[in-house]
Amino acid sequence: MGYKRLSQNNLILTLQASIKSVVLVLIFWVLAADAKTQNLAFITNQLADSVSVIDTSENAIIKTIKVGVKPAGVMASYDNKVVYISNPGNQEISIIDVATLEIIKRVTVGQAPLALALTHDNKTLFVADWYMSSVFAINTQTLEIEKQIKVGNAAAGLAVSKDDKTLFVVNEYDHSLMFIDIASYEIQSEIKVGKAPYGVTIDDDKQVLYVVNVESDDVSVVDIKSKKVINTFPVNTYPYITAIDKINNRLIVTNKRDSSVSVVDRDSYEEIKKIYVGEMPEGINIHPDGKHAYIANWFDGSVTILDINNLEVADTIETGEGSRAYGNFIVER
């Protein structure tokens, strides 16, 4: 009887140990999952020479990083390891390590680096220089300039095709869009769009580009294959750039001088709603949760968080003077 009772006790102890082990493993995986899904927004503050880092789970600033002079453009690497910041005020690219939130490298380039784009293999960073009417191709491993590509007057917006074969460049003063072969760095084609184009966004599903035209207050829809404008739709005053809300099949365009965003149907290109945000909104990103858009407001020095399902402002975060966040600014850490 004693032996039997002992065996039962041993079995109970073994089961308890097993249960504890399973619980610990589950806790570990939950914590690991939480750690993997921390999303950070890197907001350039042009008048404060800084970048505000927002933890989007709390909608709170966790660090302010001093960068170069007059930071404007931002490009997060596709592996979420680094963030590139353009500083036109001192002709520099600051490279921020996402893990430590520290600047790890600085690269001098051009006269007024502004828009940034990156190949999807993270090997080449493209920098549009406003004053030099050029785009610089930088090797991200060596941080050496591989090529200076002469483009149109006032290069303003950049985008890279998903297959890394084509670079799209918007030339504001030429009112044009260029198609550049990345392998050869040769200009393939140039087409006219609206007046004073600025931001350009790729819609991979539809294989079109949305080119926002600042002075004609509209957006040109460009078919990538035919290299032709296939539609133009009006928005509001001094539009800046477009974000794509794929879940709700909408486009969201920031209107700088109207202090609003235009929410547009992605098929009909009809405006669904105009929503007032902060003053002089510029950069916009859709959060990975598919529920919110983060919008940087230049004049307010703030970020508006938009509930894109209900089309209402959910929150506002004070950042720094002259918040621009022109580019891809949300990363996972």
Same-domain check for residues 282 and 195: yes
User: Nearest to residue 321, comparing CAs of 292, 284, 286, 280?
Assistant: 280
Same-domain check for residues 98 and 146: yes
Same-domain check for residues 14 and 66: no
User: Nearest to residue 102, comparing CAs of 42, 12, 146?
Assistant: 42
Sheet of 82-87: strand order equals 102-108, 92-97, 82-87, 73-76, 326-328
How many Cα atoms within 13 Å fall on the side-chain side of residue 77? 19
**275/30 Cα distance (integer angstroms):** 37
Single-letter code of the amino acid located at 151: V
Same-domain check for residues 93 and 229: yes
Same-domain check for residues 30 and 46: no
Same-domain check for residues 117 and 156: yes
How many Cα atoms within 13 Å fall on the side-chain side of residue 90? 13
> For 56-196, where are the E strands, in sequence order?
60-66, 73-76, 82-87, 92-97, 102-108, 113-118, 124-129, 134-139, 145-150, 155-160, 166-171, 176-181, 186-192
Same-domain check for residues 202 and 242: yes
Same-domain check for residues 167 and 307: yes
Tens-of-pLDDT digits for all 333 residues of the chain? 544 444 555 544 454 555 455 444 444 444 444 445 689 999 999 999 999 999 999 999 999 999 999 999 999 999 999 999 999 999 999 999 999 999 999 999 999 999 999 999 999 999 999 999 999 999 999 999 999 999 999 999 999 999 999 999 999 999 999 999 999 999 999 999 999 999 999 999 999 999 999 999 999 999 999 999 999 999 999 999 999 999 999 999 999 999 999 999 999 999 999 999 999 999 999 999 999 999 999 999 999 999 999 999 999 999 999 999 999 999 988
Same-domain check for residues 10 and 81: no
In Å, the largest CA–CA distance within the chain is 96
The helix or strand, by DSSP H or E, that contains position 238, with its residue range, turns out to be none
Same-domain check for residues 106 and 145: yes
Beta bridge partners of 202: 209
Length of the chain, in residues: 333
Total domains, the chain: 2
For the domain that residue 190 is a member of, what is the CATH number?
2.130.10.10
User: Which pLDDT score, from 0 to 100, does residue 34 have?
Assistant: 45
- DSSP track, 268-327: T--EEEEEE-SSSEEEEEE-TTSSEEEEEETTTTEEEEEETTTTEEEEEEE--TTB--EE
Same-domain check for residues 242 and 303: yes
User: Which pLDDT score, from 0 to 100, does residue 18 have?
Assistant: 52
The whole domain housing 29 covers: 1-36
Same-domain check for residues 95 and 2: no
